[in-house]
Structure 1
Amino acid sequence: MTFAERKTPARLASPAARKLPRKILFWVMIAYIIAGLYGRDPWKTDDLVGIATMMSALEENHWLSTYIGVLPYPELGPLTHIIGGVFIYLFSPLFEFFVSPAQAHILAARLPNFFYFFSMLWGVWYGTYLLARRPEAQPLHLPFGGEPNPRDYGRMIADVALLFLLASVGIVIRLHETSYFPLLMAIYGVAFYGFVRFLDHPTQGSLVLGTMLVAAFMTRGVVGVTPLLLVSLSLFITRIYNLRLKVFLFISLLLATLLSVVWLASTYNIDPEWVVNWWDYQRQLFSLSHWLETPKNLRDLSWFLWPCWPFALLALWNWRQWFDTPHIFIPTSFVIANLLVIFTTARAFEPEYAPLTIAFAILAALAIPTLKRSLINLLDWYSIMVVSFALIAIWVGWVALHFGIPQQIHHNIMRLIPGFDTRILWINVIAGIIICIFWYRLVAWRIKSNPKAMWRGLTLAAAGTTITWFLLSALWLPAINYNRSYRTVGESFAQLKLPTQTCIRGENLGEGQRAAFYLFGNVHFSQDEACRYMLLQTNKESLLNSSFKNPSIIWQGQRDSERHGETFLLIDLKTQK
């Protein structure tokens, strides 16, 4: 059946494709990425590990392989710390005029998040725009005209996809980490653009996709690049790309393969043991036995992909006769490829779920012109209700924390942050009030103006997610930081002022804890069994049952907010009693 013989499910009049005001979109994006990015310590685990690998690249000269101090960390590739290390090298001297060198490194390490964030949004917006302006994606021609032109329609769909992405619940916190997560999201967003760009500019598409393939491989290894390879395979075996485009696709795969081989060969010449450990870790990630975790993954995806997934499923149903067209096939192949990776990967969670957000946001946007106006308005009212409730809950919790009312809520909160200083930061309170006033004004504008544009139903959803995150950062960031930071225990250890070359072996430490002591305590852990000192994570009960009887404890520390008995001991093994 040709395109002309099919009945498109999209119905839209020209006023519904009115351009979203760019000032509103710009300020929503800026507020989204700034809130929670600064004014806090690195949190466990990936946040700490990310900065630790960047500092290790600078201090230990490990650029092509990933290390925490002098210990290898083969779970990740080097691209994240290469970019972060360069930013630290360039910008930390400027920040040192205002803050300590250690804090300057953290501030500089977070600058790439702006680049990752806007790269992801650019890739999604422009790729969606190119797809939506294609002939097969156009809405139904009205009897007397008045349907939007392809450019306006494509821009409207792209705006909605961007708003869906900003409204997604699961990626908000992780996009603010100094880890591989925001970089991987940027790679997938730009890779989506590359797949779409093949259709009208194959040379550019080939270069973009080839670069993103090797970038994904150097960021997350096999699990990072496999979804993109599966999408490429689907385009090879279907008719979405003609023979000429498939040749360019093969060239991009060849380019990525050559660059990946160059990286691995160069790294092997410098550090063969790291490459062997990295490959062993990659082989252990995939197994068909992980299909047993499917119910858990589906449960987690239901909240992680909210509010995109209901609209994405509607799009797949309403456009079901158009699966052989690029605007449905490419994002759908993204969904299938990532689901296959999730269901066959060990302990799949947020990093594996995240690329689905991009594909679901695009499909959800394509559902909007197929829906009735009443259903779109329902999304507005849902956003008003949920966001308003969330803002009230944040304020109720804050009042309970600082004033003890309600008493039970205060008690439950203080169990998580024992010893937290509840002094009120009035500048944060003022910021929270302004945020709530802005939400009120936005809701009033939406109800009063009742715009006809199709993005109207997503404006409150995207802005509401951003405002909720902004209020949470303004009122709760000090308490959350107190709960999740390792700074105090690391700086307490640093006060011992042990020589830099002191041999210290870690025992029962997670990677995030190793990273924390490396960053805040200047501890360079060793794998040497003959080390004189051992830093042990334990608790009193475990210590009594351990093989170390009457240990010679040089130092003992604990996080201020610790409530599970997590204790760190520095033991002198040579003078053990």
Structure 2
Amino acid sequence: MPFTPFSRPSFGQPPAIHLGWVILVCSAWVLFSLIGHDPWKPDEAYSFGLVYSILKGHDWVVPMLAGEPFMEKPPLYYLTAAGFARLFSGWLPLHDGARLASGFYMGLTLLFSGLAARELWGKGYGRLTALILIACLGLLVRTHQLITDTALLAGFTAAFYGLALAPRRLVLGGIFIGMGAGVGFMSKGLLAPGTIAITALLLPLASPTWRTRQYLISLLIALIVVLPWMTIWPYLLYQRSPQLFSEWFLVNNLGRFNGTAHLSDTHESAYYLRMLPWFAWPALPLALWTLWRQRWSGWSKQYVALPLTLFLVTLSVLSAASEGHDVYALPLLPPLAVLGAAAVETLRRGAANALDWFSVMTFGLIAIVLWAGWYATLTGHPAALASKFDRLQPGYVTHLNWPALLIAMVLSLAWLIVVLRMERGALRAIINSALGITLVWGLLATIWLPWLDAGKSYRDMFTSLHQAMPAQYDCLASRSLGEPQRAMLYYFNGIISEREEIYQPHCSLLLVQGQPQSLEPPGKNWRILWEGQRLGDNSEWFTLFQKK
């Protein structure tokens, strides 16, 4: 039989899942917790500070945080978030509107991951891929935050789809490869285009599907498409300030990768291998089963070669970097989910039942604990459970929110009905994994959201600070005040502090962040005007001094 570049596996179609049902579940998963809470410590706080500067009229070429350039990442996500914040400003607070950008990018991530799976495995596998992806434990919290990594993930999966599409439709495939690499670049810098470029060059070695002249043309198209993304903003930034360009490119891109920037501690090369078993659950075991089923001759087929090569290249690049964080591992999940989608039809009955049992029992038990804990914080009974949560958030008083309670009750009842009525099989295990994690996240995003917000928001603390400040003062200096705190001070109080580390200001007020035992008074001519901290947080202490 002659080789066809876009041939697909012959083991049939997966069990049918209604597309509308998949869209409903994925939409609920994406939307829960995007609105209804302040920017949270630490990443959301400083990220929104950059968005807020754009909303206050600062240009997009130089990202600004509380009046100072902040050159860690390019501005695409901040521009998108500012656009959403302005669009929904009549209905939502600015920070809630801005966070909708993460929902937008996560919707694109699920879409492109599903399209890649459909292109590689055939019709129906895209829906399975989306469900596997939202079931991954590592994807849940980070992708609902106001951070640039959601835009990076969307660009990464768009390029993934382009690489899958290129052998069959070279022009469209090239456009998606270039566009995805460009979005990734404008979100976090060189990681996405570098990883995608290495993968694209290795694919002809991995599979004959990409050993064609058409694929080379597709890569040339991708290069043309990505060039504006990778040149316009860097050029404008360099024209504005060669020093800021150097800070972004040499320190925050190359320096963070090779460790010459010395911005944080290095990590062990096996960091990501150790975290993957929980971070990529259940995509990882499903992907391993697919690789086992396709061993010997199947690994060179395009439906295995592409996601496997992309995963290995991304893992190698991340492991070689000097810094390691869980959020950096997000691009590892889409290729694993695509590989895992093919395992559903061939999964052994015992393995499928074990995965199903684990999902139902684990998420069901967590949901029971969440309901019991919420009831305890509301009523004080049982006292032992109520006291545990009170120690975590001392002084917090639970208020009954009927709309949130109704949503939580409907969500719990729907989950219970589906679990009891669904037929057994491998598909049931995947659906219950996706539904279970959506249930838990939905409870956290409804009845538990005010409790979580009280411990992660700076609003009450900075409101208390503002009330203690004199009506008239010349300026506010700061010492050791972190980026999230400076951003929230600007957002909630409208104050840009003059940092001692840079300006050496002579202000009548001084705000110091640090531990009480290590706090050094600025001098004999100063008195303490206010002290405070976030609710339940003993790691940060803030003191406001006033010059006598």
The normalised TM-score by structure 1 is 0.85
Residues 376-426 of structure 1 show CA distances to partners (whole Å, capped at 9, x for unaligned) of 343222222222112112123223333444544433322221110134434
Shift of 1:255: 3.8
Name the counterpart of 1:270: 240
Say whether the 8 Å CA contact 2:129–2:341 is kept in structure 1.
yes
What one-letter code is carried by the residue in structure 1 that aligns with 2:538? H
Indicate the residue corresponding to 2:494 in structure 1. 522
Aligned to 2:138, what secondary structure does the other structure show? coil
> Distance in 2 between the 1:466 and 1:56 partners?
34
Contact kept, 8 Å, 1:335 with 1:360, in 2: the verdict is yes
Question: Structure 1 CA distance, aligned partners of 2:472 and 2:189?
Answer: 33
| 1:319 pairs with one of 287, 294, 309 | 294
Distance change (3 Å), C-alpha of 1:502 and 1:273: farther
2:410 alignment partner in structure 1: 434
How far apart are residue 370 of structure 1 and its match?
Answer: 3.0
1:420 and 2:396 correspond = yes
1:509 has 2:477 as partner: no
Give the match for residue 142 of structure 1.
Answer: none
1:339 is aligned to 2:310: no
In structure 2, C-alpha distance between the alignment counterparts of 1:371 and 1:385, rounded to whole Å: 20
- 1:293-372 matches, cutoff 5 A: 293-320=268-295, 321-372=297-348
CA distance in 1, matches of 2:164, 2:305: 11
1:380–1:539 CA distance, 2 compared to 1 (3 A): closer
| Deviation of 1:548 (Å) | 2.0
Q: Tell whether 2:194 aligns with 1:219.
A: no
* Contact 2:119–2:165 (CA under 8 A) maintained in structure 1: yes
Q: Does 1:486 align with 2:479?
A: no
Match of 1:107 among 90, 96, 101: 96
Partner of 2:545: 571
Q: CA deviation at 1:503?
A: 4.6
2:26 maps to 1:50: no
User: Structure 2: how far apart are the matches of 1:555 and 1:274?
Assistant: 37
Quick one: structure 1 residues 20 and 45, their matched pair in 2 at CA, closer, same or farther if it must change by over 3 Å? same
Give 5+ residue unaligned stretches, structure 1.
96-102, 133-153
CA distance in 2 between counterparts of 1:61 and 1:271 reads 16
Q: 1:477 aligns with which of 428, 449, 465?
A: 449
Letter matched to residue 185 of structure 2: F
- In the TM superposition, what is the alpha-carbon distance from 1:339 to its structure 2 partner? 0.9
Q: Distance in 2 between matches of 1:513 and 1:492?
A: 14
AA in 2 matched with 1:121: L
SS of equivalent residue, structure 1 residue 556: strand
Shift in Å, 1:229: 2.4
Q: 1:557 to 1:520 in 2, by over 3 A?
A: farther
1:90 pairs, out of 87, 92, 99, with 87
Aligned residues: 533
Which residue of 370, 373, 377 maps to 1:401?
377
* 1:60-99: CA deviation from partner (whole Å, max 9, x where unpaired): 423022221211221111111111122233331x22xxxx
Matches within 5 A, 1:116-135: 116-132=105-121
**C-alpha separation between the residues in 1 aligned to 2:483 and 2:389?**
27
Task: Mark the CA change 1:237 to 1:18 in structure 2 (over 3 Å): closer, same or farther.
Answer: closer
1:432 Cα deviation after fit = 2.8
Contact 2:271 2:319 (8 Å CA) reproduced:
no
Q: CA deviation at 1:10?
A: 6.9
Q: SS state of the match for residue 344, structure 2?
A: helix
Pair 1:559-2:548 in alignment = no
User: CA 1:298–1:555 in structure 2 vs 1: closer, same or farther (change >3 Å)?
Assistant: farther
Q: What SS is found at the alignment partner of 1:187?
A: helix
Q: Which residue of 2 aligns with 1:73?
A: 70
Distance 1:207 1:9 in 2: 26
- Residue identity in the other structure for 2:105: Y
Work out whether 1:165 is the aligned partner of 2:122.
Answer: no
1:455 paired residue number: 427
Deviations 1:467-506 (A, max 9, x none): 1111222221111111111111223344467899965443
> Normalized against structure 2, the TM-score is what?
0.89
Quote the Cα distance in structure 1 between the aligned partners of 2:286 and 2:299. 16
Deviation at 1:291, TM superposition (A): 8.3
Q: Is the CA contact (8 Å cut-off) linking 1:161 and 1:361 kept in structure 2?
A: yes
Range with greater deviation from structure 2 (218-227 or 307-316): 218-227
**Alignment-mate amino acid for residue 23 of structure 2:** F
1:169·1:306 contact (CA, 8 Å) conserved in 2?
Answer: yes
Instruction: Give 3-state SS (helix, strand or coil) of 2:388's partner.
Output: helix
Which amino acid in the other structure matches residue 128 of structure 2? Answer: V
| 1:344 Cα deviation from its structure 2 partner | 2.1
Q: CA deviation at 1:288?
A: 8.3
Percentage of identical aligned residues: 26
| Aligned counterpart, 1:259 | 229
Counterpart CA distance in 1 for 2:472 and 2:27 is 41
Q: Deviations over 1:128-179 (max 9, x none)?
A: 10111xxxxxxxxxxxxxxxxxxxxx22222211110111111112221122
1:221, distance to aligned residue in structure 2 (A): 1.1
Q: CA 1:426 to 1:244, structure 2 compared with 1: closer, same or farther past 3 Å?
A: closer
Contact 2:73–2:252 (Cα < 8 Å) also in 1: no
CA contact (8 A) 1:32 1:469 kept: yes
Task: Please give the per-residue CA displacement for 1:280-316, whole angstroms capped at 9, x wherever unaligned.
Answer: 2222212389986234433322211111111111212
Task: Name 1:283's counterpart in structure 2.
Answer: 254
Q: Secondary structure at the match of 1:535?
A: strand
Question: Aligned residue for 2:516?
Answer: 540
> How big is the shift at 1:561?
1.0
Q: Counterpart amino acid of 2:291?
A: L
SS of 1:438's partner is: helix
The one-letter amino acid paired with 1:126 is: L
Q: Counterpart of 2:256 in structure 1: which amino acid?
A: L
Indicate if the aligned counterparts of 1:288 and 1:344 stay in contact, CA closer than 8 A.
no
